[in-house]
Structure 1
Amino acid sequence: MNKAAALLPVIRAGDGRTLSRGEFLSLLNTYNCFLKDHTQLHLSCYQSAEAEVVVEGFLNISWGVRNPIRLKIQDDKQILPSTPVVSPDPITLDAPAGDKRGMTQWGEYKDLQQIDDMAETQQETAVNSSSAAPVIYETSTLFPVRIRNPELEAESDLFHCMSDASLVKRRRGGDKSPAQRERERQHRFSINGHFYNYKTSIFTPSFGTPTKVRISSRMTTHQVIEQLLRKFKIENGPQEFALYCVHQSGEKRKLSDSDHPLWERILQGPSDDIMKIFLMDRDEEEVSNDVAVYLNLELPILEQVLLKLREEEHREIQSVIKKYHLQHQLLSNTLSCDIFSPHTETSV
């Protein structure tokens, strides 16, 4: 059975808007045809058990926040408050199989510098494990003296600077172990190459840089923001942000928490040149279409428009003053006639 024929004759496109089946299929085909060279970005649709047409796919969202964002450090891993936290011995790195004292979890350290020191110490100890030279410790902290390996540092910097596609290619090859799959599942997506680093965990993304998030047409604005923050493991709450539709004309409209951003994208078309969806601070001001008409005009033209508006305002003020004086004169004449006119009494 044809999937298009199974759709309802009338389709709800968000709150209070409806499309006929032909209009919806035309919009969907136009959208996918525009992205014919990017089949992974095509939208798909199906009819749910509740007789609702649901569209799924990727939504382009541009970064437009002006306040800094904070990246998470714990990756949603919580430590039970009732369990006493015991820091592992940094010297005992190779513990027996049944001994878990050498395992480290996020949140065990109050000082983030200590985490970085531990990671570098473990990495260098693994490289130099074959050498039988005695371990030299720092006198104040009893930590092993760290001898920086230029090759390891270059490899680490290269790994953190690689794009997501390069990381996939690097990790590809042969069957993956469960540990490797778990590491990939917890992999942090970079924001334009910015991976987590405790020294730069608070930063502001470059304005206008795009990203993608996979959503459905059922998801509201609030849910889409939550999905985006979850993808990049951002600590800020969704109540701090809002989605704005910014048109080519300069119009900027804020989507309410109950709106459906994917329907907004479908109705406006797939081209970001016509309309972009931005993640911005919630207190960002909107720009109406009437005001947006003047945003792209040159300064001399705007000055002439302002001069014409002032002249029109002056004419309106003079018209109101003239009308006031006329009414005042008529009322005064009427009152004077009533006061000075002789009163005649008639007797029956």
Structure 2
Amino acid sequence: MSESALQSVIHTGDGRTLTRSEFLSLINTYNWFLKDQAQLHLTYSQQDRDGEVTVEGFLNISWGVTMPIRLQIQDDKQTPPSPLITPEISIPVSPLESKRGMTRWGEYSDLHQIDENAETPDIIISNVPPAPIPYETTTLRPMRHKNTEQEAESNLVRCQSDASLVKMRRKAKTAAQREEERQHRFSINGHFYNYKTSIFTPTHGASTKVRITSRMSTHQVIEQLLHKFKIENDPEEFALYCVHQSGEKRKLCNRDQPLWERILQGPSEDIMKVFLMDREEEEVSNDVAQYLNLELPILEQVLLKLREEESKEIQRVISKYHHQHRLLSNVLNCKVSPHIETSV
């Protein structure tokens, strides 16, 4: 790559820029850190129309909401349309046709929907030798009495219809099953939709991954996360926060691009995590965060020192106000006082 191409500018959002060499270094470092997890590597492409670089990959987001979330109703209530019935085509009539008439193709949308206990045509087969009579003895145990119900249950497998056997051997998935798997919701730590517990609060700190691009804004990332878990809450109720190891908590605005924030901070979750929190969550500045990890006695001394400085600053402002007030009053008195003329 030429020297001019390496020095070209790449916009990373919020007015920040990187040279192409710095960008490639960040991407290589990011993917090397996740060398054992190739599915989490970042990929990038350049659009010819505007020259912008688009990065694509997974963003790890941790749950930090305190309000309950509402899950949508399961999608399996939407039944797929049944195939058209074509009664014109019929199967050949068997020589041993029963009195019930012919069965036409299309009467059942699928073979596995045929009732396994449906009656089959009565076929009489002659010249069959009788079964041997079982030998019963009462020498060591009493005579066993036959139970017609248990005997009928033991023969259910042999009485299944051909359609049920096709169902047992069938391995290919139907179109409805494939559509159900495609629309299947993801679980939040194993929590799927339940009518009794469809409203709950996710465990704090639990993480999930969302595949996004560097062009997606904060609002779009939140919408995609809610769509992944089929959450009914309004995306305006939530916000993304960058929580650093020092305790700093910064809220991402709608124009920010979360994937760029992740790239610039590096892939390590120990340095910075992206949390989904309530929109009203209070931010913590870096100046305040540096005191959060101190012991309680030290924090009390720091708070006492801040109060003393606050009192001194208040007294300084009050003294300055009184001084300015006296000066202004003297000037006004000089202008208002009457001018006395003397005659010779």
TM over 0.5: yes
Alignment of 1:187-336 (within 5 A): 187-320=184-317
Alignment of 1:7-156 (within 5 A): 9-50=8-49, 51-75=51-75, 98=107, 130=117
1:175 is displaced (CA, Å) by 5.7
The DSSP-based 3-state class of the residue aligned with 2:75 is: coil
1:182 is displaced (CA, Å) by 2.2
1:319 is displaced (CA, Å) by 4.1
Contact residue 7 and residue 47 of structure 1 kept, 8 A? no
The DSSP-based 3-state class of the residue aligned with 2:204 is: coil
- Residue type matched to 1:34 in 2? F
- Residue type matched to 2:293 in 1? N
The DSSP-based 3-state class of the residue aligned with 2:259 is: helix
Distance (whole Å) between structure 1 residues aligned to residue 330 and residue 47 of structure 2: 78
Structure 2, unaligned runs of 5 or more:
80-104, 120-170
Distance (whole Å) between structure 2 residues aligned to residue 336 and residue 53 of structure 1: 69
Contact residue 45 and residue 54 of structure 1 kept, 8 A? yes
Identity level (%): 72
- Residue type matched to 2:223 in 1? E
Superposed CA RMSD in Å reads 3.7
Residue 4 to residue 268, structure 1, CA distance change in 2 (3 Å) = farther
Other-structure match for 1:160: none
1:329 is displaced (CA, Å) by 7.7
Residue 18 to residue 330, structure 1, CA distance change in 2 (3 Å) = closer
Distance (whole Å) between structure 2 residues aligned to residue 27 and residue 207 of structure 1: 30
Residue 332 to residue 130, structure 1, CA distance change in 2 (3 Å) = closer
Other-structure match for 2:149: none
Other-structure match for 1:168: none
1:49 is displaced (CA, Å) by 2.9
The DSSP-based 3-state class of the residue aligned with 1:267 is: helix
Distance (whole Å) between structure 1 residues aligned to residue 198 and residue 318 of structure 2: 63
**Is the deviation greater in 202-211 or in 279-288?**
279-288
Structure 1, unaligned runs of 5 or more:
80-95, 101-121, 133-173
The DSSP-based 3-state class of the residue aligned with 1:304 is: helix
Distance (whole Å) between structure 2 residues aligned to residue 55 and residue 180 of structure 1: 34
- Residue type matched to 1:25 in 2? L
1:220 is displaced (CA, Å) by 0.8
Distance (whole Å) between structure 2 residues aligned to residue 99 and residue 73 of structure 1: 29
1:293 is displaced (CA, Å) by 1.8
More helix by share: 1
Contact residue 8 and residue 19 of structure 2 kept, 8 A? yes
Residues 236-294 of structure 1: CA deviation (Å, up to 9, x unaligned):
12111111111111111111112111001101111111111111111212112222222
Q: So what's the TM-score if we normalise by structure 2?
A: 0.65
The DSSP-based 3-state class of the residue aligned with 1:57 is: strand
1:41 is displaced (CA, Å) by 0.2
The DSSP-based 3-state class of the residue aligned with 2:292 is: coil
Distance (whole Å) between structure 1 residues aligned to residue 326 and residue 248 of structure 2: 48
Residue 252 to residue 324, structure 1, CA distance change in 2 (3 Å) = closer
Residue 332 to residue 14, structure 1, CA distance change in 2 (3 Å) = closer
The DSSP-based 3-state class of the residue aligned with 2:241 is: strand
Number of residue pairs the alignment of both structures matches: 263
The DSSP-based 3-state class of the residue aligned with 2:308 is: helix
- Residue type matched to 1:69 in 2? I
